[in-house]
Structure 1
């Protein structure tokens, strides 16, 4: 188990989703910008920490196109870049520091037949259609890159767009672009970035551990779309088989798949490949089709013996197991992140039902609320997510209807089932009744409950999920999904609006990793449910809420104990599940403590990985409120999200080993209590 500050989680994984912040002090230092912490970070959660490959590509673009002190952000389509430019200009004006942004459209192709690969620009410089395939490049296409340039002091505003929307390019997409550039361009950018940061140069992307990828020439041309573009490519590593996890585990490190590794560990790219590139990159369409079928719950055959057929075009599929049998793969849309799915759901709601406020029901993951506040006319925030909040919602709806006769009161209600981090489940039948009465959409984020454990689509118009989490499990790729309820009142209008505006933003290589990772997700979920319930039963018995004397733990937030009647109403029953097993309570829970010292003592002593994210195949803990609400601790506390809250995502380790690990942390926390440390 690698707990080195700033290292990737999983270790030695180039596109890792999490980063090691092993102590309470480290997490506070990260939020405060402490150089001791920040300078050691080689990665981070992708919407918060811009991956080093993306930074390197940004440096190249800034060297070529920036003027004065401009910085840039990178996107895969012109439409998204325009959204970013619009947000920067609108948001900076609201904040009292107006900033202008401009766009550059860039196409990077391999040297082979580059003239035929570059589409003709339109009068305004936009690409006229998609680029033709270029032989030999990654994924058999050129890289279309859209650069948003803005004054350097507007970077925090641009970062808001990157973080909240999740629409930025992925690290794998950045590596594709870098691999198409000549060696000297990347090396020059690396030296410039290192010099600006006062650091050592970053190893060129086409060079690992001093060994260059051989056998290809790198061309020396790349340019904005208004000119001719070119680049080079590096051969990808050979496909490797293997599962990111196995049915049983003997300890924490085994869950990471680093036992019995027969590959050269010096080659991090091989470890990355080990997580499952079983498909050629040309099969991205196959992978995306399989993913949509898994999310829709229509696969009749999704077990090891026939998982390779899941994306075949002519494969026979069955009625959906999601709760609405008419749902199909055509009702599922894939996005590069879960937050992108939420952002698009909000956009759809406003486009179809009008420019009215939304409702955020329950205390959500931070960016959901920020999306509803920063795009459109704003939202009503009912942050406790309890039945008393539904009473308040009814009053709001009645008041809005009386004041605006003939107009819709709200366009949509967004809620998580259950919520993150308090694991509260909303009364969905009652919310559905209000939605039908007042004609607004219900958008449910099922990431925490997940489709194996709960059925919620029958109460929703749209269900969204972060596939980055337990659906993938391997913590090495991002993804999100949006699913329409075919029985919803606005189903046809929503789908038509999406058809008119949809762009496929999910990078093909990311889709292939996600497809491979998700093949055994049902099996993993059942194992994680079992582990989490065992751990939570232990912690509940040693909590103040459970009647334990001189307890260090105040309360265990877990669907089995919190708003249990609402969760049980939607929990999958064994007779209705695909494999005959009842749904569990998920792998996520949170703890509050009787003192901040007990919180930090428990966290520091817990022998597992510590970092952002959840839903990993290995146990992962973080001081959630410190990371998500460091600048608004008092506000979060008003809703029960205390400063000392610790959130834990349980993994696939051996159950007894997990229990021993939590016993160790409990002892450390209880020692703080007995010693009177505050």
Structure 2
């Protein structure tokens, strides 16, 4: 069960979960804190030592970037760190294109950098041209350098694609650099109002990958300090050791291959038995001789049809790139109000997107009209490239009529890409209807909120499967850092049972809240509506709900006024911050965080400024109901 936590203003800016060096959320405990975060308020940004990795660049990555900027930068250039030349090329192309659109032409230089221990020869000096593959003991970085004034544009690539290096990879690189050289680097100014570089302090040694040999000197004698381990110094040595062993940190990076194989099999649903114990050669679910059987995904998918990525957004970005590469290029469709970066990907790469923001049956009628008109205009090509939809959507938990979408895709020959992150394949079966299914493994599949990951699954029964599989075989690049995969594999072993428990908790909480809502018939309520698949586009959700499946662990609330929303949120005594699918209950004022600069536009599609999104965890039912009663009482008092 989830641990008891105390939430208060003193937690502002700290890691969520607490005492977690690679936490993927941050504590923003009050409504005012969330607004302050969006507005770059000094009180908030100077408190932050953590954040969602695509928005807040982890302090270890900032430290490594600072070293690279000082070593390779010219005239104050800043950089983004990429795991491969291919990603760096995409980064450079994006920056140049977006800067040109903005009317600020710029330059981007790429540097390939090998960080090697002293007893291993570096393949060649760092250069801006590709070199040979480094020895296994070395780390390979691809650095995109650009003028500092272009950083806001470059940061969009980091945010939208999720393709940047992970914090664990950054720490691996830092562990190869001699301590005297780390001390000689200097922390630069903040990258942006919401990604500050505060003074660094010594790493807790327990969170470093230990390597005795060191790399050659970086040749910089300026004074500096080290990145923090996000509150890990508050742990005793025994506690730190326990956490490391619990999460598999001590497994060698060579275990990554076993972990990735186990993840692909788990996602493909082919494991006959899925043990919680490690085998002699690594995670037993990833062993060569493990027993596998027919897939439980509704289609006979195999582990070879599953592709892993460093983040969920990287899976979505790659799904779009797959469509652009394997099919005739034209606009895509975003159906339903999506998580913000999905729409940005469709708009900023390729020819653009048609947006049907409600995702209701009336939108399907409009979509069908569009498809017929485009087909009549150009009958030689499909009218659209691909349709992207979430099942259900974030944050309104609406579900599109996937049967009708499938029929339209068949009729007009476009790809259907379904994001099942919120529904998840324990609860729903969407693969038989989709050409491609994507998911953020960072959410409930992991649960512990200490590792990022994403997956893309091809439907072998899809009409375009052969072309998609061939394109993936030719272009797929595994940039999922092995240590992140090891954590993800260990976290996900019990995900089925966790989902079952969270489903029950969420349904109990939502039934309670809806009974006190305007939609549920309450008189003079504070809550206007509970957005949850049990009550929201229920027929469409039920069409793919598995017999043992539930409605998921996410719901949203809208209120009768903004002050009521604020009172409810501030009084809710759970952890508060971005992300979802955590083993602990986590709440956020979603529209404030995701659409602060476009509140009016979001409201047009029913995503109100006062919306509160809640991801329910594994706490005891009575405790959860007590928390929501406390918040409801405060909201009713604010009416």
- Per-residue deviation at 1:195? 13
- Per-residue deviation at 1:316? 2.1
Q: Which residue of 2 aligns with 1:343?
A: 317
1:104-144 CA-partner distances (Å, limit 9, x unpaired): 110011112x12xx44689972033x32323xxxxxxx110
The whole-number CA distance in structure 2 between the counterparts of 1:498 and 1:199 is 38
Q: Which residue of 1 aligns with 2:112?
A: 105
Taking a change above 3 Å as real, the CA distance of residues 532 and 65 of structure 1, as seen in their structure-2 partners, is same
Kindly indicate whether residue 150 of structure 2 is the aligned counterpart of residue 148 of structure 1: no
Q: Which residue of 2 aligns with 1:53?
A: 60
The whole-number CA distance in structure 1 between the counterparts of 2:357 and 2:176 is 47
2:168 aligned residue (172, 178, 182): 172
Q: Which residue of 2 aligns with 1:290?
A: 262
Deviates more, 1:273-282 or 1:590-599: 273-282
Taking a change above 3 Å as real, the CA distance of residues 191 and 664 of structure 1, as seen in their structure-2 partners, is same
Check conservation: 2:117, 2:216, Cα contact below 8 A.
no
Q: Which runs of 5+ in 1 are unaligned?
A: 135-141, 224-257, 574-581, 674-678
Taking a change above 3 Å as real, the CA distance of residues 199 and 612 of structure 1, as seen in their structure-2 partners, is closer
1:480-533 CA-partner distances (Å, limit 9, x unpaired): 000000000111111111111111100000000000000000010000000000
Q: Which residue of 2 aligns with 1:658?
A: 624
- Per-residue deviation at 1:281? 2.4
Q: Which residue of 2 aligns with 1:131?
A: 134
Check conservation: 2:244, 2:250, Cα contact below 8 A.
no
**Secondary structure of 1:514's aligned partner:** helix
The whole-number CA distance in structure 1 between the counterparts of 2:54 and 2:470 is 29
Check conservation: 1:365, 1:420, Cα contact below 8 A.
yes
Q: Which residue of 2 aligns with 1:309?
A: 284
Query: Which structure 2 residues correspond to residues 1-40 of structure 1 after superposition, within 5 A?
Result: 1-3=5-7, 4-40=11-47
The whole-number CA distance in structure 1 between the counterparts of 2:209 and 2:612 is 44
- Per-residue deviation at 1:25? 0.3
Query: Which structure 2 residues correspond to residues 516-531 of structure 1 after superposition, within 5 A?
Result: 516-531=490-505
Check conservation: 1:56, 1:193, Cα contact below 8 A.
no
1:116-174 CA-partner distances (Å, limit 9, x unpaired): xx44689972033x32323xxxxxxx110000001111101100000000000000000
What is the Cα-based RMSD across aligned positions, in Å?
Answer: 2.4
The whole-number CA distance in structure 2 between the counterparts of 1:195 and 1:99 is 18
Taking a change above 3 Å as real, the CA distance of residues 473 and 124 of structure 1, as seen in their structure-2 partners, is closer
The whole-number CA distance in structure 2 between the counterparts of 1:194 and 1:357 is 37
Query: Which structure 2 residues correspond to residues 257-656 of structure 1 after superposition, within 5 A?
Result: 264=236, 271-277=243-249, 279-304=251-276, 308-324=283-299, 326-573=300-547, 582-656=548-622
Check conservation: 2:397, 2:531, Cα contact below 8 A.
yes
Query: Which structure 2 residues correspond to residues 67-82 of structure 1 after superposition, within 5 A?
Result: 67-82=74-89
Check conservation: 2:312, 2:454, Cα contact below 8 A.
yes
The whole-number CA distance in structure 1 between the counterparts of 2:409 and 2:210 is 60
Check conservation: 1:12, 1:271, Cα contact below 8 A.
no
TM-score, normalised relative to structure 1: 0.87
The whole-number CA distance in structure 2 between the counterparts of 1:27 and 1:320 is 43
Taking a change above 3 Å as real, the CA distance of residues 370 and 360 of structure 1, as seen in their structure-2 partners, is same
Deviates more, 1:658-667 or 1:308-317: 308-317
Q: Which residue of 1 aligns with 2:228?
A: none
1:65-105 CA-partner distances (Å, limit 9, x unpaired): 11113110000101100100000000111111122111011
Q: Which runs of 5+ in 2 are unaligned?
A: 220-231
Deviates more, 1:639-648 or 1:175-184: 175-184
- Per-residue deviation at 1:205? 4.0
Taking a change above 3 Å as real, the CA distance of residues 2 and 85 of structure 1, as seen in their structure-2 partners, is farther
Taking a change above 3 Å as real, the CA distance of residues 534 and 343 of structure 1, as seen in their structure-2 partners, is same
Taking a change above 3 Å as real, the CA distance of residues 305 and 89 of structure 1, as seen in their structure-2 partners, is closer
Taking a change above 3 Å as real, the CA distance of residues 279 and 178 of structure 1, as seen in their structure-2 partners, is closer
Aligned length: 615
Check conservation: 1:187, 1:204, Cα contact below 8 A.
no
Q: Which residue of 2 aligns with 1:250?
A: none
Taking a change above 3 Å as real, the CA distance of residues 184 and 201 of structure 1, as seen in their structure-2 partners, is farther
The whole-number CA distance in structure 2 between the counterparts of 1:375 and 1:381 is 15
Kindly indicate whether residue 625 of structure 2 is the aligned counterpart of residue 670 of structure 1: no
TM-score, normalised relative to structure 2: 0.92
